[in-house]
């Protein structure tokens, strides 16, 4: 019954991409000038794609809901970007990056895609440096690297704790150059409302001008969706407030299959929730785990005392602390992959060892004491201070930590009012990234011809769990080095098509549907705000479809989400009109889509009866609480076809074939 | 993260329906605000309250709420991003205020940043300055030279990074008594002037970016230094001095 | 030479021109002070120097016009920029806390500038116009020993001394910001030298105006 053709090229793994590039069709420069491409989203994937396509000669129309492409949420990525450069000479290679990524993803990604990603990773660093991205350097003037979770080499390039920002500004610069030339027409403060399909092909979008409220038609020969992930389905996440699933969900409703929605990453090091008034969670970079040690008290009474404020973290002696990651996973210690670290923290908090004094008690310590003293001693030696006092050593060590993580420490202090140089940080897992997304083939095309999905928006190369510093790598790989080639193969058919008219019945129909929906929201005589429903959805998602899932909870979640959705349409209130900026109206449209996606998410989680990566089914674990995969039944990509209600979605399976890597139980012990 | 008792506040907020409409300061009251809440969470609560009363909520730009996207842009109690230095509005917390306080909340004020609704302004001028020259002209090819081919002195790389941390929020313009954009423009000019990759277009870049900046209607710099103090990323005035040098030497020697 | 026009009508070009005229005026002020100060300890030196400055053709016909141009340019451009800068913010803030991020005198250069301008009017009326009339209109015979007596006489009037002193306080404020600002404007900034420039600027901005006030008070009190 499957309609899925992943179009993976034949041949040995390491030659697939090269031979594919050599064999796909090209569009000559003169013809590119007659072809329009729409790019929705201007983060790392969309921004790099828009810039590169314009450099090639295509006419690009780029859309973002923010007031400038520079504000896309890629900007918030802190830690770094991976590349198999092996500048440190520590045994890194394309193969090793490929292997780490497949293993880190718990063997639920496509070998060929991941290999290609590892292959082009080195080009990304070269390209970014040429653009003027100021990566960190050592005193010899060469690029510096750090280490991230789930790997045993140092392959992560970084720009302080602002790597995402610097890479995005690189893309934005490249886009700016093309905007100045007129090759990119930029539509800021525009939101894509629907995809328009003409003759079976994606031929344009309906967009809403968020400043005037006007509904606009935009046509093109291909549409690229680079709108990011759907983590905000949980209401509280580390995503930006505006991050939404709507562009991806709209193309899903127009025929693009949605893959592995239940694969969601819960990031272990976020600042714990402070209370009910909170609207956003803040991430602390994974790079902190290079130097921070994670622990909870060994004795439950100590945990209670800390929660009640009777004891401080620093009062506990070394032997009274449980460094649970180091205890459970001696080989990788605090640098286990994110899913493993998150679950371990949850396990300790569920057992009553949480240290936060709020309603949930949920937090663990991330302690820099040992690192401060270690670096301090090292510095004292370098400076020739032989009988340094503890205070001197601490001062020197704090300086080293400050140079590495200064901005993160400052941000932590700003939010919590605690000084992490003096007392350990408190952290807890939070929703961060979605591995699932729109299903795409090797060419990054969805099941709708002419509609492509790149970056976090597609279901991507991360399988069931993404390694740190790989999201930036994938976004830029897709946008700079993959899509610009593969889209040409598709567009080669369109060199004689000419401009796509926007007065066709297909555009009429799509525009009408959008207007009807907007009219519904502004005229609905409800009593509750959009956020009220979003928060309720988020609670169900977090409690029943969060870090640990079981059959009963998932079934309840499906029913509850459906219920919330029905209430939403009956009782939502959107003040104001559609004649200008109306942020409640924007939210209403986005939450309406989350309310559908959430249900599919739970359905996918229910169907996948195994534990793998970010998806943990309580029924499938070892007595020690480690995840148990069921390879003989679930080594596939679950791609869902829209059929009206989320509950009617039809499952298509793309079998994952491993020819180069042997499936093993993932172990970081 | 203490759970102290909530605060009651009076808010004076600029309301303006659209770019053509006349605006005015309106007064609102919010109560039981947790000191651990961020400023924007307090605004969320105000908006929730307004929606409950079937009034239009206050429109304001915000997105990442981690102090990096540069969206948020409020002039709070007479200062860009409020009373705490080195942070954006989204990272400002209510513990910086006292129970019973009156808080003035206004949009960025500059001719080059017209208000489009309530606290939302159009910062498109920054994008146009960037499009005039804020880039290095290198096409994507996959054949760019190796990233380590040109070593860069750490000191210069670090200075370029410091300049590049600008988030384009516009606090410099909002704060400057002259609504000058020189801190923003100079940060980008400096970043590229300090890197070997930026040398080829060095002169053209500064000339074009300054020309565009002037056309946008920003004021002139009179070196009060307010921008540097209020910049949430602490971008240094050193960059403006560098841009002045770059501009003059380019004006004199460019052909 | 359209590039020249373009350069000096650009924001940065104007800034440069303001700074260069300021630096010129700073040097002028220093030499003015040096000459005036001699009046405190040596009538003879003062008369000699004044006579030289007042009759030397190079000073009178080359430096004096440059000085006049510098003064006029600095004032006119100061006003032009003030008006332009004011227009760059057409709607003002309801609540603005300038003191939170900058000094009063850096924000109010136009105020101190205006006071200085008013003072210059008085000063021209007192010294410069009579001089010009004396030399170039009436063609009165030159007496190389008249300067000291004429100058000291002016300081007998307590009101004049008061105005004079107040103006120099404002000049001090103007310089407290203006001195280092001029260096910043021409891009002369370096982590090694800028702190030194700032220090010299502070000393200059306080010492020179204080010196002028001292001279005025000295002659005033001496005559009592």
For B228-241, write each residue's pLDDT tens digit: 999 999 999 999 99
Instruction: Give B2's pLDDT tier (boundaries 50, 70, 90).
Output: very low
Residues A287 and A148 sit within 8 Å (Cβ to Cβ): yes
Instruction: Give C122's pLDDT tier (boundaries 50, 70, 90).
Output: confident
> Are residues B44 and B14 both part of a single domain?
yes
For A449-476, write each residue's pLDDT tens digit: 999 999 999 997 999 999 999 999 999 9
Query: How confident is the model over C23-50, as a mean pLDDT?
Result: 96
Residue closest to B241 by CA, chosen among B252, B249, B233: B249
The Cα B106–Cα B16 span in angstroms is: 11
Domain boundaries, chain A: 268-431, 505-631
- Tell me whether residues B140 and A417 touch, CB distance under 8 A: no
For B113-132, write each residue's pLDDT tens digit: 999 999 999 999 999 999 99
Contacts of B160 in chain A (CB under 8 A): 132, 134
Identify the pLDDT of residue C2.
85
> Are residues B192 and B95 both part of a single domain?
no
Whether B158 is in a domain gets the answer yes
Query: Per the structure, how many domains does chain B have?
Result: 2
Query: How confident is the model over B146-170, as a mean pLDDT?
Result: 96
Residue closest to A338 by CA, chosen among A265, A287, A281: A265
Identify the pLDDT of residue A392.
94
> Are residues B133 and B74 both part of a single domain?
no
Identify the pLDDT of residue A531.
96
CA distance C70 to chain B (A): 18
Q: Is C181 left (phi over 0), alpha (psi -120 to 50) or beta?
A: alpha
Residues B213 and C160 sit within 8 Å (Cβ to Cβ): no
Whether C178 is in a domain gets the answer yes
Q: Cβ atoms within 10 A of the Cβ of A406, count?
A: 13
The Cα A437–Cα A449 span in angstroms is: 17
- Tell me whether residues A137 and B48 touch, CB distance under 8 A: no
Whether B48 is in a domain gets the answer yes
Whether C95 is in a domain gets the answer no
Whether C185 is in a domain gets the answer yes
Identify the pLDDT of residue B204.
97
> Are residues B127 and B215 both part of a single domain?
yes
Whether B136 is in a domain gets the answer yes
Identify the pLDDT of residue A152.
87
The Cα A201–Cα A445 span in angstroms is: 12
Residue A338 is a catalytic residue:
yes
Whether C94 is in a domain gets the answer no
- Tell me whether residues B220 and C81 touch, CB distance under 8 A: yes
Identify the pLDDT of residue A668.
83
* pLDDT greater at residue A339 or residue A216: A216
What is the pairing mode between strands A293-297 and A364-367?
antiparallel
CA distance A133 to chain B (A): 8
DSSP at A528: B
**Complex ipTM tops 0.95:** yes
> Are residues B60 and B91 both part of a single domain?
yes
Judged by a CB distance cut-off of 8 A, whether residue B36 touches chain A is yes
Query: How confident is the model over C25-29, as a mean pLDDT?
Result: 96
Query: How confident is the model over A76-101, as a mean pLDDT?
Result: 95
Residues A377 and A456 sit within 8 Å (Cβ to Cβ): no
**Per-chain mean pLDDT for chain A:** 95
CA distance C14 to chain B (A): 9
Residue of A nearest to B143 (CA): A123
**Which member of B34, B56, B147 has the closest CB to residue A129?**
B147
> Are residues B63 and B91 both part of a single domain?
yes
CA distance B58 to chain C (A): 18
> Are residues B69 and B167 both part of a single domain?
no
Judged by a CB distance cut-off of 8 A, whether residue A209 touches chain B is no
Instruction: Give A150's pLDDT tier (boundaries 50, 70, 90).
Output: confident
Q: Kindly indicate whether the domain formed by A505-631 is annotated with CATH number 3.40.50.720.
A: no
- Tell me whether residues A130 and B131 touch, CB distance under 8 A: no
Residue A64 has pLDDT above 60, yes or no: yes
For A234-281, write each residue's pLDDT tens digit: 999 999 999 999 999 999 999 999 999 999 999 999 999 888 878 899
The Cα A318–Cα A326 span in angstroms is: 14
> Are residues B46 and B90 both part of a single domain?
yes
Query: Per the structure, how many domains does chain C have?
Result: 1
Query: How confident is the model over B54-81, as a mean pLDDT?
Result: 96
C11 contacts: CB under 8 Å, gap ≥ 6 = B180, B182, B210, B213, B214, B218, B220, B221
Whether B195 is in a domain gets the answer yes
The Cα A88–Cα B161 span in angstroms is: 22
For A348-391, write each residue's pLDDT tens digit: 999 999 999 888 889 999 999 999 999 999 999 999 998 899 99
Name the least confident of A131-140, B164-173, C131-140, C187-196: C131-140
In CATH, what number is assigned to the domain containing residue B157? 1.10.1060.10
Residue A1 has pLDDT above 60, yes or no: no
Whether B131 is in a domain gets the answer yes
**Which member of B65, B70, B134 has the closest CB to residue A241?**
B65
Q: CA-CA distances (angstroms) from residue B217 to A58, A217, A503, C7?
A: 33, 33, 39, 17
In CATH, what number is assigned to the domain containing residue B82? 3.10.20.30
Query: How confident is the model over A637-665, as a mean pLDDT?
Result: 96
Whether B39 is in a domain gets the answer yes
Name the least confident of A106-120, B98-112, C133-147, C177-191: C133-147
CATH code of domain A268-431: 3.90.700.10
What is the pairing mode between strands A437-438 and A451-453?
unpaired
In CATH, what number is assigned to the domain containing residue C75? 1.20.1300.10
Quote the domain boundaries for residue B198: 123-141+151-253
Whether B1 is in a domain gets the answer no
Name the least confident of A193-207, A397-411, C70-84: A397-411
pTM of the model: 0.96
For A604-625, write each residue's pLDDT tens digit: 999 999 999 999 999 999 998 8
**Which member of A52, A76, A416 has the closest CB to residue B66?**
A76
Instruction: Give A20's pLDDT tier (boundaries 50, 70, 90).
Output: very high
Residue of C nearest to B244 (CA): C187
> Are residues B28 and B91 both part of a single domain?
yes
Identify the pLDDT of residue A2.
55
Phi and psi, residue A77, nearest 5°? -65, 130
Residue A198 belongs to what H/E stretch? strand A190-198
Q: With helix as H, strand as E and coil as C, how does chain B read?
A: CCCCCCEEEEEEEEECCCCCCCCEEEEEEEEEECCCCEHHHHHHHHHHHHHHCCCCCCCCCCCCCCCCCCCCCEEECCEECCCCCCCCHHHCEHHHCCCCCEEEEEECCCCCCCEEECCEECCHHHHHHHHCCCCCCCCCCCCCCCCCCCCCCHHHHHHHHHHHCCCCCCHHHHHCCCCECHHHHHHHHHHHHCCHHHCCCHHHHHHHHHHHHHHCCCECCCCCCHHHHHCCCCCCCHHHHHHHHHHHHHHHHCC
Residue B1 has pLDDT above 80, yes or no: no
The Cα C112–Cα C121 span in angstroms is: 14
Quote the domain boundaries for residue C29: 2-89+102-223
Contacts of C89 in chain B (CB under 8 A): 109-111, 177-179, 219
Residue closest to A461 by CA, chosen among A174, A103, A178, A73: A103
Residue indicated by tokens 């534990």: A611
Hey, what long-range contacts does B197-201 have (CB within 8 A, 24 or more apart)? B197/A129, B197/A130, B197/A131, B197/A132, B197/B136, B197/B138, B197/B150, B198/A132, B198/B136, B200/B136, B200/B137, B201/B133, B201/B136, B201/B137
Q: With helix as H, strand as E and coil as C, how does A161-192 read?
A: CCHHHHHHHHHHHHHHHHHHHCCEEEECCEEE
Query: How confident is the model over A147-161, as a mean pLDDT?
Result: 89
């Amino acid at each position: 019954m499957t309609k899925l053709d992943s179009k993976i090229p034949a041949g040995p793994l390491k030659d697939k991409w090269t031979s594919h590039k050599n064999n796909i069709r090209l569009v000559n420069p003169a013809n590119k000038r007659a072809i329009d491409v729409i790019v929705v989203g201007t983060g790392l994937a969309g921004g790099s794609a828009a810039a590169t396509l314009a450099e090639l000669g295509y006419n690009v129309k780029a859309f973002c809901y923010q007031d400038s492409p520079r504000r896309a949420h890629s900007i918030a990525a802190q830690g770094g970007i991976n590349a198999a450069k092996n500048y440190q000479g520590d045994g890194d290679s394309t193969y090793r990056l490929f292997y780490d990524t497949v293993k880190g993803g718990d063997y639920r990604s496509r070998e060929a895609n991941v290999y290609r990603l590892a292959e082009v990773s080195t080009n990304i660093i070269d390209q970014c440096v040429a653009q003027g991205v100021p990566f960190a350097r050592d005193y010899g003037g060469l690029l510096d690297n750090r280490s991230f979770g789930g790997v045993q080499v140092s392959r992560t390039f970084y720009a302080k704790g602002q790597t995402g920002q610097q890479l995005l500004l690189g893309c934005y610069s490249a886009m700016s150059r093309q905007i100045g030339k007129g090759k990119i027409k930029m539509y800021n403060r525009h939101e894509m409302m629907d995809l328009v399909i003409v003759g079976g092909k994606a031929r344009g979008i309906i967009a809403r001008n968020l400043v005037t409220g006007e509904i606009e038609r935009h046509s093109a020969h291909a549409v690229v969706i680079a709108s990011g992930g759907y983590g905000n389905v949980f209401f509280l996440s580390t995503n930006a407030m505006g991050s939404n699933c709507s562009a991806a969900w709209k193309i899903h409703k127009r025929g693009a299959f949605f893959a592995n929605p239940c694969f969601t990453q819960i990031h272990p090091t976020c600042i714990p929730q402070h209370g009910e008034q909170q609207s956003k969670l803040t991430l602390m970079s994974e790079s902190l785990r290079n130097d921070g040690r994670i622990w909870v008290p060994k004795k439950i009474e100590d945990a209670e005392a800390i929660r009640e404020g009777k004891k401080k973290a620093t009062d506990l002696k070394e032997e009274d602390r449980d460094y649970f990651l180091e205890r459970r996973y001696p080989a990788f210690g605090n640098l286990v992959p994110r899913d493993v670290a998150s679950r371990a923290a949850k396990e300790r908090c569920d057992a009553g060892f949480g240290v936060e004094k709020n309603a949930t008690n949920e937090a663990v310590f991330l302690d820099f004491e040992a690192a401060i003293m270690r670096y301090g001693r090292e510095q004292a030696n370098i400076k020739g201070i032989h009988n340094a006092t503890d205070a001197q050593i601490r001062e020197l060590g704090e300086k080293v930590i400050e140079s590495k993580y200064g901005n993160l420490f400052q941000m932590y202090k700003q939010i919590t009012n605690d000084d992490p140089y003096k007392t350990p940080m408190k952290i807890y897992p939070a929703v961060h990234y979605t591995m699932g997304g729109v299903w795409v083939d090797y060419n990054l095309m969805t099941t709708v011809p002419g509609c492509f999905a790149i970056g976090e928006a597609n279901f991507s190369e991360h399988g069931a769990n993404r390694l740190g510093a790989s999201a930036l790598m994938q976004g830029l790989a897709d946008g700079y080095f993959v899509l610009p080639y593969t889209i040409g193969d598709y567009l080669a058919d369109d060199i004689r098509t000419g401009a796509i008219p926007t007065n066709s019945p297909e555009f009429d129909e799509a525009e009408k549907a959008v207007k009807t929906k907007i009219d519904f929201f502004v005229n609905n005589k409800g009593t509750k705000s959009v956020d009220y429903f979003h928060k309720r959805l988020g609670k169900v998602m977090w409690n029943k479809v969060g870090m640990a899932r079981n059959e009963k909870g998932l079934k309840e979640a499906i029913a509850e989400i459906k219920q919330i959705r029905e209430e939403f349409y009956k009782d939502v209130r959107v003040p104001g009109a559609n004649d200008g900026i109306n942020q409640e109206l924007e939210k209403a449209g986005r939450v309406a889509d989350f309310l559908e996606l959430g249900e599919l998410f739970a359905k996918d989680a229910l169907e996948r009866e195994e534990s793998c990566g970010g998806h943990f089914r309580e029924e499938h674990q070892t007595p020690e609480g480690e995840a148990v995969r069921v390879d003989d039944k679930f080594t596939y990509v679950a791609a869902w076809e829209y059929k009206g209600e989320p509950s009617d979605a039809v499952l298509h399976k793309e079998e994952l074939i491993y020819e180069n890597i042997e499936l093993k139980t993932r172990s970081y012990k | 993260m203490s759970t102290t008792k909530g605060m009651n506040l009076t808010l004076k907020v600029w309301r303006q329906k659209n770019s053509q409409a006349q605006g005015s300061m309106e007064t609102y009251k919010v109560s039981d605000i947790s000191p651990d809440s961020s400023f924007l969470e307090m605004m969320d609560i105000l908006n929730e309250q307004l929606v409950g009363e079937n009034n239009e909520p206050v429109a304001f730009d915000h997105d990442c709420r981690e102090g990096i996207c540069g969206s948020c842009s409020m002039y709070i109690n007479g200062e860009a991003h409020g009373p705490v230095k080195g942070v954006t509005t989204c990272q400002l917390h209510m513990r910086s205020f006292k129970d019973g306080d009156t808080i003035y909340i206004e949009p960025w004020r500059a001719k080059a940043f017209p208000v489009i609704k309530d606290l939302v302004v159009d910062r498109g001028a920054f994008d146009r300055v960037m499009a005039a020259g804020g880039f290095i002209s290198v096409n994507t090819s996959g054949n760019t030279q190796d990233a380590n081919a040109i070593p860069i002195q750490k000191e210069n790389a670090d200075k370029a990074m410091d300049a590049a941390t600008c988030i384009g929020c516009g606090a410099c313009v909002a704060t400057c008594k002259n609504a000058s954009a020189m801190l923003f423009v100079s940060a980008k000019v400096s970043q590229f002037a300090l890197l070997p990759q930026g040398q080829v277009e060095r002169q053209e870049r500064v000339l074009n970016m300054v020309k565009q900046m002037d056309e946008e209607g920003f004021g002139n710099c009179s070196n009060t230094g307010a921008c540097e103090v209020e910049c949430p990323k602490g971008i240094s005035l050193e960059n403006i001095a560098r841009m002045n040098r770059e501009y003059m030497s380019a004006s004199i020697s460019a052909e | 030479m359209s590039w020249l026009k373009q350069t000096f009508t650009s924001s940065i070009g104007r800034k440069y021109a303001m700074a260069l005229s300021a630096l010129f005026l700073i040097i002028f002020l220093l030499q003015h002070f040096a000459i005036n100060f001699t009046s405190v300890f040596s009538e003879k030196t003062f008369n000699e120097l004044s006579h030289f400055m007042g009759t030397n053709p190079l000073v009178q016909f080359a430096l004096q016009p440059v000085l006049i141009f510098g003064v006029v340019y600095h004032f006119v451009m100061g006003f032009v920029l003030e008006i332009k800068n004011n227009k760059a913010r057409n709607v003002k803030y309801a609540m603005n806390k300038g003191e939170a991020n900058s000094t009063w005198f850096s924000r109010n250069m136009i105020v101190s500038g205006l006071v200085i301008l008013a003072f210059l009017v008085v000063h021209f009326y007192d010294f410069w116009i009579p001089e010009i009339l004396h030399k170039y209109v009436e063609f009165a015979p030159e007496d190389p020993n008249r300067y000291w007596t004429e100058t000291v006489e002016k300081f007998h009037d307590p009101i004049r001394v008061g105005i004079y002193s107040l103006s120099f306080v404002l000049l001090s404020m103007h310089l407290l910001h203006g001195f280092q600002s001029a260096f910043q404007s021409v891009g002369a900034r370096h982590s090694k030298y800028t702190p030194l420039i700032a220090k010299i600027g502070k000393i200059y901005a306080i010492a020179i105006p204080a010196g002028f006030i001292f001279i005025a008070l000295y002659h005033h009190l001496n005559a009592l």
